[in-house]
Amino acid sequence: MDPTSWVPARDVSAFHTQSLRHAAPYIHAHRGHTFVVAFGGEALEDGAAGLIHDLAVIHVLGIRLVLVHGARPQIERAMRRHGISSRFHQGRRITDAAGLRAVEEAVAATRVAIEARLSMGLPGTPMSGMRLRVVSGNFITARPLGVIDGVDYQYTGAVRRVDTHGIRDALDDGAIVLLSALGYSPTGETFNVPAREVATAAAGALDADKLILLLNAPLQTPQGGRIHHLNVREAAALVESAADEVLTANLSTALAASRAGVRRVHFVNRKDPDALLAELFTREGTGTLVTAEPYEALRRARIGDVAGILELIEPLEAAGVLVRRSREQLELEIDRFVVMDLDGAIIACAALYPYLEERMGELACLAVHPDHRREGRGDRMLARVEDEARRLGLECIFVLTTQTDHWFRERGFEPASLDVLPMPRKQLYNYRRNARVLVKRLPD
């Protein structure tokens, strides 16, 4: 359904401007970064127009795009046409000389089809005349996979080298680079290399910021639940448990990419027309993210977090930066807190005290552990508190600060007088502490 179709006409423009505001930090963060996006040949058979359109949008937003396409259904058809039967061993195609000709034919046709579609630019939009340049070439050097378990894979190959200079030159020139599931050897032979291996090797060699794998279905737990975020340790444990074949195969790719130095691997359901853009430009995403770093959860605080929060805030209370809170008070007010949990350690916290009648809320006790500052965590905590305030229908949030007013002012807070505070809060104001009052009106 068009997300705006239920909105009254006069609110549609507000909906769009709001979406743009939410996406802006992600657009800013991704600009100039390299993303490798891999998809199977099926993606060209249904929903291709939407996929190509979204890839073009990502490119236009300043992301350096390397696309890697597979061609399994196209290869299967070409083999049938030539009367060749497909042979696989351990999930890998065995490519003999006749098979290689079918692979070359199918891969070439698929690549040309992608190039043709990308040449359409963004039809039906104000950017329809835009020209996208696509560069493909002999960027992948391959070697034969050889004989494994007594099985000769013949023209099935493995990546030996990625021409990072060549790819970077093309990206620097503003082109989209398109890689196929093929590699060439210095002896002049062609090898069929699985698209995922090309994508993983390219992402690692290029030091890509993200490897994005488009799947035919969302990645799920064996019970069918969504997997939002895993760190490599959790992903390895799931692979070890071998509970689900699809999950194991996909997470193994993520682990291989992580070993190759890729810090973020995203799995996105290509059949959801909004999934790719939502994954990249919204906080919640829609797919599964596997990160090289330990998993940092930003979540509501629980009673078991009290000790961790106290450890974090006590030095700041001693320095007069934060107001003192007893353990008992913290236990009573724990529901008001959100925390950032890094593999069990509390590394950041913040609280929201709502005044529903006045439609205001106090942001309090914002702290990030000194070892984890200056990496945007303060911003993320603030954004989370603002979301919560909006959810409660509050129109503005205020903060009382002694040493951090510039941090807040740089984030849209403005100095205000004591009189703006809700009466019950004003009565509790500590004149000896003499904190400044800053207020931020929340955008709708």
Interface residues with ligand COA (CB under 6 A)?
316, 321-322, 366-368, 373-379, 399, 401, 403-404, 406-407
CB of 22 to ligand COA, least distance (A): 18
**CB of 140 closer than 8 Å to CB of 203:** no
Instruction: Record the tokens describing residue 309, joined without a space.
Output: 């929060």
Closest approach of Cβ 308 to ligand COA, in Å? 15
CB of 366 to ligand COA, least distance (A): 4
Per DSSP, the three-state class of 35 is strand
Closest residue to ligand COA in the complex (CB): 378
Tokens, residue 441 = 């009106």
As measured in angstroms, the least distance from the Cβ of 350 to ligand COA is 8
The count of C-alpha atoms lying within 13 angstroms of the C-alpha of 329, restricted to the half-sphere facing its C-beta, is 7
Transcribe 78-95 into DSSP letters.
Answer: HHHHTT---EEETTEEEB
User: Considering beta carbons, is residue 156 or 401 the nearer one to ligand COA?
Assistant: 401
Least distance (Å) between residue 314 CB and ligand COA:
12
Identify which of 213, 199, 107, 125 has the alpha carbon closest to the alpha carbon of residue 162. Answer: 199
Nearer to ligand COA, 298 or 316 (CB): 316
Q: How far is the CB of 183 from ligand COA (least distance, A)?
A: 42
H helices of 223-326, in order, are 232-241, 245-259, 275-281, 306-318
Least distance from ligand COA to the Cβ atom of residue 399, Å: 5
Count how many Cα atoms sit within 13 Å of the Cα of residue 103 in the half-sphere of its side chain. 26
**Closer residue to ligand COA, CB minimum distance, 193 or 312:** 312
Q: Which is nearer to ligand COA, 290 or 350 (CB)?
A: 350
In terms of CB distance, is 105 or 341 closer to ligand COA? 341
The smaller minimum CB distance to ligand COA, of residues 26 and 184, is found at 26
Closest CA to 55 of 345, 441, 64, 222: 64
What would the two tokens of residue 339 be? 């925390």
Half-sphere exposure of 26 (CA within 13 A, CB side): 15
- 164-172 and 195-206 helices cross at what angle (nearest 10)? 80
In the chain the first and final C-alpha atoms are separated, in Å, by 23
Question: Residue 173 CB, nearest distance to ligand COA (Å)?
Answer: 32
CA torsion 2-7-12-17 (nearest 10°) is: -80
Would you say 24 or 127 has its CB closer to ligand COA?
A: 24
CB closer to ligand COA out of 191 and 413:
413
Evaluate whether 366 touches 349 at the Cβ level (below 8 Å).
yes
